[in-house]
Chains A and B, each alone.
Chain A
Amino acid sequence: MSTHKPFITAVCAVVMAACPIAAIAQMPNDARFGFGTPAKPEDMARYFSIPPSGRGLPPGNGTAEQGAKVYAENCVACHGERLEGIPQPGLGGDKLIGGRGTLATQTPVKTVESYWPYATTLFDYVKRAMPFSVPGSLSDNDVYAVVAYVLSEAKIIQPTDVMNAESLPNVRMPNRDGFVPDARPEVQLYH
């Protein structure tokens, strides 16, 4: 029997050479693997990210008057009575208003009022990450209200203006046109 072995080996070699498919890695035919589970709408409910168009802003509304209370209860400890920021250890809340017109001066002051291009970003950020110690704990009405309060203290909207999914994207921020695309690599360096 042992005399057959070289023959069988030779046949195998020929077959494998002729049919390389048997020896290569394989992929699903449509290049998809089928891993993962289709996301259900109810699983998606907890996610949000609000672009300048306001897409995805939740129902609800608030005014600066209501927001003053929300601010006093949830923000003042770190951001200060006059929204001036408290740079103390353990707090470190940023200055939220002021600085308008300083960006091209010797002492630029970057705040929501002076620097932020979109009001939708303020809603998104406060809902997502504030109050710092209990992020994501405010109701949507409270977020609209405190956003209205900050914008009103910054003299960007009137104290009576109602902030909601329709009005917020229409708020025009003072530094709306203050941003330019990245100009790097800087051509001046190729001199």
Chain B
Amino acid sequence: MSKMAPVQYDEKTRRYIDAMIEAEEQDRAALRAAEGNSADAECPCREGMFPTRAPSRRRFLVAAGSTVGAGAAGLLGARAAVAADRKAPPGAEYFDVPDDPTKQQGRPVAGDGGYGTRSQFETEVRQRYPTPNENTSWSLTPLDKMLGNLTASGLHFERHHGGIPTIDPARHQLVVHGLVGTPKTFTMADLKRFPSVTRKHFIECSGNGLTEWNKPTLKTVQGTHGLLSTSEWTGVLFATIAREVGLKEDGAWVLAEGSDAAVMTRSIPMEKMLRDAIIAYGQNGEAIRPEQGYPVRLVLPGYEGNTHIKWLRRLEVSDKPFMTREETSKYTDLLGDGKARQFSLDMDAKSVITFPSGDMKLPGPGFYNIGGLAWSGRGRVQSVDVSVDGGTSWYPARIESTPEPMCTVRFSFPWMWNGQPAVLQSRCMDDTGYLQPTLKELVAIRGSNGPFGSIYHLNAIQSWAVAADGSVSNVHA
């Protein structure tokens, strides 16, 4: 890499990256302090191979505690008293831990008011990218802590340009108009009367990994790849709604508009809308989370995250794209020759090892089950290879979940670590035959004509170096 001209970030991006490095450093310092303070201080795994076993009070003193309605719980019966200073991680509630849970009654059935919380011992959280304005910012999914293929709804990455709106579904409407036979307004009740589909798809922000073009920058896989999440989405196909309003011949693009303070808009090719688009109101078995577009969002399987318009209120059929700010000023890829790619919508095939990954520490030589995620916006994942020698030799990985179109799969690879330094990589191929490229290959194409500012769509192979002492770090290999 050293011989190539470095990727030129524009000045705003450079500021963002510096701030993120600092924020990640603070986060790690807080984690270290918390762990040093806990009973696990002597555990050799404490540097991140496994989650710490007890949440530290100090760590969560400032974090928002759970605010499950005490009133509702009180109505339903007694429960363990929660001392004011005993904070649980976000999404959990603090309970005293008995010495022996078999010697006393547990909490009463439905004592939680009828909606459960996660365990107070589970501490993973999304991490916000420290843009100057917290209403236009993003937060990253802790991929290293995720189990299985679906992302917990509360850990799904976020990107908002005008904060998270509070929307009453009884008052929310979706209007479909433009080059249609009968412009129509649909209430949430109307939308839910249509036949629905339920499909698993990933969403990835095209800015995922933007810090990583020039040099290995962020330490953890949450930082380098955390703008990726997978959910099961439920909703009406756009095709169903299209038939309902009737499409006119010249309708080639559809503008989708959100009901947030950014009134976010993107133009989507009609072909994609009719093939794949879901007007989704369900996520992982319940209503879509407010951060994900409650009460209804557009899901465009395989397209860059920004196009999956949240808080969807309007679809306008048109003959041409609208050239909105988000498809001109933003989400375009400035190349080395000064030209910018526009409507770069598909997310190319990509994979990453999440265990072991940056900032973890392996306790010693022996067996490790390497694990990770692979995905493609153009179809199914066909195969995944793993290398433990920086890409010199590749071996097929085991696919651990059923490959579905435009959905992540889990993969694993059994590895006997001999204690020598190693560089771990994964690469995937999708069912179009596209093979995940190296960073060098991408830079050669997009920056061949001098400098470039193509910060989006980095889908290169990720390298994690394992040092002789077991520590794992982000490297370019």
Cα A178 to Cα B340 with chains together (Å): 6
Cα A188 to Cα B434 with chains together (Å): 12
B188 to chain A, nearest CB (A): 11
B444 to chain A, nearest CB (A): 7
The proximity string for A residues 110-140 relative to B, scoring 1 for CB distances below 8 Å and 0 otherwise, is: 1010011110110011001100100110000
Cα A162 to Cα B136 with chains together (Å): 32
A20 in contact (CB, < 8 A) = no
Please determine whether B263 and A129 come into contact, CB atoms closer than 8 angstroms.
yes
Please determine whether A109 and B342 come into contact, CB atoms closer than 8 angstroms.
no
Please determine whether B334 and A39 come into contact, CB atoms closer than 8 angstroms.
no
Please determine whether B185 and A129 come into contact, CB atoms closer than 8 angstroms.
no
Please determine whether A35 and B194 come into contact, CB atoms closer than 8 angstroms.
yes
Please determine whether A92 and B131 come into contact, CB atoms closer than 8 angstroms.
yes
Please determine whether B133 and A92 come into contact, CB atoms closer than 8 angstroms.
yes
Secondary structure dominating the interface of A: loop
B266 to chain A, nearest CB (A): 10
A184 in contact (CB, < 8 A) = yes
B103 in contact (CB, < 8 A) = no
If A95-B12, A185-B434 touch, whether A118 touches B328 (CB-CB below 8 Å) is: yes
Cα A11 to Cα B390 with chains together (Å): 72
Which B residue sits closest to A107, measured CB to CB?
B8
Point out the residue from B136, B320, B340, B445 that lies within 8 Å of A180, measured CB to CB: B340
Q: Give chain A interface residues in 1-42, CB to chain B under 8 Å.
A: 31-33, 35-39
Residues of B within 8 A of A91 (CB): 132-133
Which B residue sits closest to A27, measured CB to CB?
B195
Q: What count of chain B residues pass the 8 Å CB interface test?
A: 74
A165 in contact (CB, < 8 A) = no
If A38-B182, A188-B445, A189-B441 touch, whether A178 touches B322 (CB-CB below 8 Å) is: no
Which of the listed residues A38, A104, A106, A125 has the most CB atoms from chain B within 10 Å of its own CB? Answer: A104
If A129-B162, A135-B262, A135-B263 touch, whether A35 touches B323 (CB-CB below 8 Å) is: no
If A39-B175, A44-B177 touch, whether A129 touches B261 (CB-CB below 8 Å) is: yes
B184 in contact (CB, < 8 A) = yes
Cα A188 to Cα B437 with chains together (Å): 10
Mark the stretch among A45-53, A64-72, A141-149, A150-158 that contacts chain B. A45-53
Which of the listed residues A36, A37, A47, A103 has the most CB atoms from chain B within 10 Å of its own CB? Answer: A36
Please determine whether B10 and A52 come into contact, CB atoms closer than 8 angstroms.
no
Please determine whether A180 and B341 come into contact, CB atoms closer than 8 angstroms.
yes
A108 in contact (CB, < 8 A) = yes
How many pairs, one residue from A and one from B, have CB atoms within 8 Å of each other in the complex? Answer: 194
Please determine whether B324 and A183 come into contact, CB atoms closer than 8 angstroms.
no
Residues of B within 8 A of A117 (CB): 323, 328
Point out the residue from B10, B334, B343, B449 that lies within 8 Å of A182, measured CB to CB: B343
Which A residue sits closest to B132, measured CB to CB?
A92
B220 to chain A, nearest CB (A): 24
Residues of B within 8 A of A184 (CB): 341, 344, 346, 348, 457
Cα A173 to Cα B118 with chains together (Å): 53
Please determine whether B194 and A39 come into contact, CB atoms closer than 8 angstroms.
no
A87 in contact (CB, < 8 A) = yes
A186 in contact (CB, < 8 A) = yes
Residues of A within 8 A of B113 (CB): none
A78 to chain B, nearest CB (A): 8
Residues of B within 8 A of A110 (CB): 10, 12, 329, 334, 453
Please determine whether B324 and A182 come into contact, CB atoms closer than 8 angstroms.
no
Q: Give chain B interface residues in 327-357, CB to chain A under 8 Å.
A: 328-329, 332, 334, 336-346, 348
Residues of A within 8 A of B171 (CB): none
- What are 12 A-B residue pairs whose CB atoms fall within 8 Å in the complex? A36-B190, A39-B177, A39-B185, A92-B133, A104-B336, A107-B451, A108-B334, A108-B338, A108-B452, A129-B262, A179-B332, A182-B342
Report which B residues bind A (CB closer than 8 A): 8, 10-12, 15, 131-136, 161-162, 175-177, 182-187, 190-191, 193-194, 243-245, 255, 257, 261-263, 265, 314, 316, 318, 320-325, 328-329, 332, 334, 336-346, 348, 378, 432, 434-435, 437, 441, 444-445, 449-453, 457
Report which A residues bind B (CB closer than 8 A): 31-33, 35-39, 43-44, 47, 49-53, 85, 87-92, 94-95, 103-110, 112, 115-118, 120-121, 124-125, 128-129, 132, 135-136, 178-186, 188-189
Which 4 A-B pairs have CB atoms at the shortest separation, nearest pair first?
A104-B338, A92-B133, A92-B132, A36-B184
17 more contacts with CB within 8 A, not counting A36-B244, A105-B8, A179-B328, are A51-B321, A52-B323, A89-B132, A94-B12, A107-B451, A108-B8, A108-B10, A108-B334, A115-B328, A115-B329, A116-B328, A124-B324, A132-B133, A132-B261, A135-B262, A182-B345, A184-B344
